[in-house]
Amino acid sequence: MNDNHDKIAVTGLAAISSAGVGIGPLLEAIKDGRSRLQPVPEEITGETGHFWGRAEAFKVSDFMPPLKARKFDRCSLFAIVAAGMALDDAGLDRAATDPARIGILLGCGFGGIANSEEFLRGCFTRGADGLAPMLFPNTVPNAPASNASIEHGLKGPNVTMVQRFCSAESALMMACRFLREDRADIILAGGVDELNPLMLKGFKAAGQLRGHARGFGEGAGILVLEKMAHARQRRARILADVGEPRTIGRLLKGAEAEGVSRLLGSPQDWSLISLSGVAGENETILSELPSASRIEVGKLLGRSLGMGGLSMVSLVLSLNPGQRALHLAASPEGPYYAMDFLGGPSV
């Protein structure tokens, strides 16, 4: 793990998924191992046999007035609510914390796609008169992190990463770097994504509904990352230590084993391993992993480009104090990410 001067702690968690709203339903899904995926209605794809993980328990009216919620896209609503839940779970006194020292970095793949379709449809069918100004701010993937920062008054670093199935891991890696560079004391990091019928139709047109796009899900998974010294100063609950993230771009043909060795780093006594993206389908990676309990959130809740956040939240939730864990994420052709976690207070 890290030296004392640059240790990073996880002090809060939040989850919204097809299991439900909050970390309780997520933990229950991990423990019982029962898939929360549901059949995709036949009228959407024109055929049966497909499944998706919609966050049907999420009701925005439980968190904000409907008139206010109208100005946000679904993905931004996930991010806003999950960010608030994560800050509360971390026990952060926001009134006593400099907002310029709190940032948010999220991985997101399809955020705003529904609003983009509506916005462009208005343009293509009615011209300039069909453009809806209220929709435009939510047509980009960085809208969720931006809207969450505005709603919660977070004035520190604000970045959105779009990097295939490793988007959330990329965001967490940059968050760790920002903390070590003293750009912030606390950063909310993870992933968020939405799912709608339009996406399923697009996946079908691309021939991916039975490939990498099968069993897609939606929701948000956010970890509150904090400088260890800052967390201890405010007597925060420490859920885990975060190790130095490792990444490689590709597994080169003929040198796959060497690539995986570099990805895994020094051998660790891992008690638990989480697999995100398509890591659970990569035989080279699987063959090099030690014997340990494994979590594949994608099989339980669906996977998406931002679902790595929920996978890392699940891993931390499942750790006992002193247990070491490994999180692995992979996109079909790369990149690949590996991150170590140590459960509970380390000192």
199 shares its domain with 60 = yes
Q: Please determine, for residue 70, whether its predicted confidence score (pLDDT) is greater than 50.
A: yes
Examine the fold and report which residue of 196, 214, 233 is the final residue of a domain before the chain moves on. 233
CATH at 176: 3.40.47.10
Query: Is residue 3 scored above 60 in pLDDT?
Result: no
Q: Residue 43's domain spans which residues? A: 4-233
Same domain, 276 and 311: yes
pLDDT value of residue 1: 43
Q: In terms of domains, do 39 and 132 share one?
A: yes
What total number of domains does the chain contain?
Answer: 2
Residues 78 and 224 in one domain: yes
Q: 203 and 276: one domain?
A: no
pLDDT digits (tens, 9 = 90+) for 84-119: 999 999 999 988 899 999 999 999 988 877 777 777
Q: What is the pLDDT of residues 252-287, one digit of tens each?
A: 888 888 888 899 988 788 999 999 999 988 888 888
Instruction: Give yes or no: residues 33 and 147 share one domain.
Output: yes
The pTM score is 0.93
Q: Are residues 294 and 327 located together in one domain of the fold? A: yes
- Out of 215, 233, 251, pick the residue that ends a domain: 233
Q: Which of 233, 252, 284 marks a domain boundary?
A: 233
Q: Give the pLDDT confidence score for residue 2 in this predicted structure.
A: 44
Residues 196 and 248 occupy one common structural domain: no
3-class DSSP string for the chain:
CCCHHHCEEEEEEEEEECCEECHHHHHHHHHHCCCCCEECCHHHHCCCCCEEECCCCCCHHHCCCHHHHCCCCHHHHHHHHHHHHHHHHCCCCHHHCCHHHEEEEEECCCCCHHHHHHHHHHHHHHHHHHCCCCCHHHCCCCHHHHHHHHHHCCCCCEEEECECECHHHHHHHHHHHHHHCCCCCEEEEEEEECCCHHHHHHHHHCCCCCCCCCCEECEEEEEEEEEHHHHHHCCCCCCEEECCCEEECCCCCCCHHHHHHHHHCCCCCEEEEEEEECHHHCHHHHHHCCCCEEECHHHHHCECCCCHHHHHHHHHHHCCCCCEEEEEEECCCCCEEEEEEEECCCC
